[in-house]
Chains A and B, each alone.
Chain A
Amino acid sequence: MVHAETEMTDNNQIIEKLEELNPKKIIIWTIVFLGSIVMVTPIIFMVSMSFKTGQEVYLFSLFPEKATIKNYIFVLTESKFIYWGLNSLWVATFSTLSVLFFDSLVGYTLAKYSFRGREIIFVAILSTLMIPTEMLIIPWYMMSREFGWIDTYWGIAFPGLMTGFGTFLMRQFFMSLPDELIEAARIDGWSEFAIWWKIAMPLVVPALSALAIFHFLGNWTAFLWPLIIINDPDMYTIPVGLASFNGEYEMNWEIVMTASCLATIPTLFVFIILQKYIIKGIMLAGLKG
């Protein structure tokens, strides 16, 4: 019985789909689909180039005739790519954890406590969104010189340890939590910190994950500030390291493409796993922001 029922709905769905199939729809689908292929073409050619040998570089072809991983071995052993990857990973992770902790703590405080001066603090933090990073890099650089933060992880990370955007986003989410929940926990004798950390935080996990993804990605691809604060090639992040390929390997396109692949593929991999959350997160942040 159950079997027959599912078959029925299947058939209905197929009939509905067939009804949708008119020539105009097929043409639209084809164009939109071809557009999406064009969008990923640069990435596909990048991957294909990374598997080519020196001679094949000059051939227009998608599939290398003799695919080789020699380029990967070269990049991973001859350049400092592994260092750069670890630097990027460490800085982005540290910075993201800091943002998750502080932005949500501030967002929660501004959403759920009433005290004199709250509005001023909120407006002040929000106003930092108007200040472009480019305006602050010179003062940050002066500061870093003074305190010896040049060529350190702290130097790369310190400007991004808290963000106005994240604070605003988290405040929006905490505001939608019912006050009764917090009151009840207070009556039960929970400490204020525990109420935030153990009760409020688990309820905003979707917002936290969206914030984490944005911030991590932003740090992973950040270029201008790391370029300024880091001089030592051992301390480069991936983007700065990639830019340094200019000159050294300029004409070895297969080597440069291999390094570019190594920089790009991890984020794409993460995206494929977390696709649903990322798209939802963007929609969420876009609508709330």
Chain B
Amino acid sequence: MIKNFWENLTINQKLAITAWVFLAIPIIFYVTIRFYPTYEAFYVSFMKWNLLGAKKYIGFKNYIRIYNDEDFWIVLWNTIKYAIIGVPVSLLISFTVAYYLNEIKFGHQTIRAFYFIPFLTTAIAMAWVWRWFYQPMPIGYFNIMLSWVGIPQQPFLKSIEQGLYAIMAPAVWAGLGFQIVIFIAGIRAIPKSHFEAAEIDGAGRIQILKEIILPALKPTTIFLVVISTIGFLRIFDQVYSMSEDSAGGPLNATKPLVLMIYEYAFDMYKLGRASALTVILFLLLFTVSILQLWFMRKQK
């Protein structure tokens, strides 16, 4: 029967069936592990639920509670601070390095490798290293170095003002290598003829940078801005393992959204509230992606 059925099919039908057979397991995966959980996250965000009892529908109450929660606004502002400071700082450094590194021939590979190596490290391992550097004298290397030039001891992670930047630094440090490699790839992709034409016109270095390199790198830059904005908005590992007093401390001064989600879900078991926060994070990231598409289209 089945064999007969198969033989009677046209080649195109056979190929279509083959395609669906290849896609069968992946479709099950995407439906159960991606789409259904996405739906569930939205669904639970309208529930009151502590994991053990029954789910209770409470409408928008989770969202209203979040809106009225002062800590949420602190955390949201922290999250945004990680991104709006971390992204420009890291892109400025990585572009400058890429621009000059691209011209260097002697030792190019080794130097590039040095810049790239931090990207390959485990955030948790490096969090320990940076945390050690931030310690007070006599153990912390940063404070030791400050004492050499006569600057008083700094609290770094223990300070409400400095904590967030002290945690941002290793995140910037770890991401530079990736950005540099992408920038160099972007610069190398610019046709040589553009440079030659500019040289014939007698353009100086700054002019070439302004009129050829920067415009040509726009798509690369948009890509990196989006990737690293999303990365900073999702910061968690460094904060979880570096912040002092309590996770996200001192006094919530370093706490980002993902850490708040983690605490609501897995310390306090308020899963409805945590899900509502994940929806907010999703909307935040979604906005960034939409802005990217908008900028890309404006390009064309």
A-side interface residues toward B, CB under 8 Å? 17, 20, 25, 28-29, 31-33, 35-37, 39-40, 42-43, 45-46, 49, 57-58, 60, 102, 105-106, 108-109, 113-116, 118, 121, 124-125, 128, 130-132, 134-143, 145, 158-159, 161-162, 192, 196, 217, 220-221, 223-224, 227-228, 238-240, 242-243, 245-246, 253, 256-257, 259-261, 263-264, 267-268, 271-272, 275, 279, 282-283, 286-287, 289
Contacts and interface: CB of A to CB of B under 8 A. Distances in A.
Contacts of B189: 287
Interface in B1-40: 12, 15-16, 18-20, 22-23, 25-27, 29-30, 33-38, 40
Contacts of B271: 138, 142
B106 interface: yes
A162 B29 contact: yes
Contact of B122 (A39, A102, A162, A263): A263
Given A279-B181, A286-B181, A138 B275 contact: yes
Interface string B87-126: 0000000000100110111110111111111101111111
A88 B115 CA distance: 26
Nearest to B103: A28
A139 B34 CA distance: 10
Interface string B136-147: 001101001000
Given A28-B103, A58-B139, A125 B117 contact: no
Given A106-B22, A161-B29, A264-B120, 7 more contacts: A39-B114, A40-B118, A46-B129, A131-B282, A221-B123, A239-B237, A242-B241
Contacts of A143: 37
The 10 A-B pairs at the shortest CB distance, nearest first, are namely: A139-B37, A36-B114, A260-B125, A115-B16, A113-B19, A283-B185, A139-B40, A135-B278, A239-B124, A263-B125
B128 A256 contact: yes
Contacts of B60: none
25 contacts: A25-B103, A32-B97, A39-B115, A42-B133, A42-B170, A105-B26, A113-B22, A131-B34, A131-B38, A135-B278, A135-B281, A136-B33, A138-B271, A192-B18, A217-B120, A221-B124, A227-B240, A228-B262, A239-B123, A239-B125, A256-B132, A267-B122, A271-B113, A271-B116, A286-B181
B19 A115 contact: yes
B285 A40 contact: no
A109 B23 contact: yes
Contacts of A192: 15, 18, 22
A35 B23 contact: no
Nearest to B238: A223
Contact of A43 (B118, B185, B240): B118
| Chain A binding surface SS class | helix
Nearest to B32: A143
Contact of B41 (A102, A135, A158, A264): A135
B77 interface: no
Interface of B: 12, 15-16, 18-20, 22-23, 25-27, 29-30, 33-38, 40-41, 44, 51, 97, 100-101, 103-107, 109-118, 120-126, 128-130, 132-133, 138-139, 141, 144, 170, 173, 176-178, 181-182, 184-185, 189, 220, 223, 230, 234, 236-237, 240-241, 258, 261-262, 265-266, 271, 274-275, 278-279, 281-282, 285-286, 289
Contacts of B30: 124-125, 128, 162
Contacts of B51: 142, 145
A282 B175 CA distance: 13
B141 A245 contact: no
A243 B241 contact: yes
Given A36-B115, A45-B129, A113-B16, A60 B38 contact: no
Nearest to B110: A36
Nearest to B277: A134
Contact of A134 (B104, B173, B281): B281
Contacts of B265: 137-138, 141
Contacts of A115: 15-16, 19-20
A264 B122 CA distance: 6
A22 B107 CA distance: 17
B40 A43 contact: no
Nearest to A129: B289
A128 B34 contact: yes
A97 B237 CA distance: 26
A268 B120 contact: yes
Contact of A58 (B33, B125, B138, B279): B138
A159 B29 CA distance: 9
B129 A42 contact: yes
A223 B128 contact: no
A282 B26 contact: no
Contacts of B125: 46, 239, 242, 259-261, 263-264
Nearest to A131: B38
Contacts of A221: 121-124
A35 B266 CA distance: 41
B263 to A, nearest CB: 12
A132 B101 contact: no
A42 B129 CA distance: 7
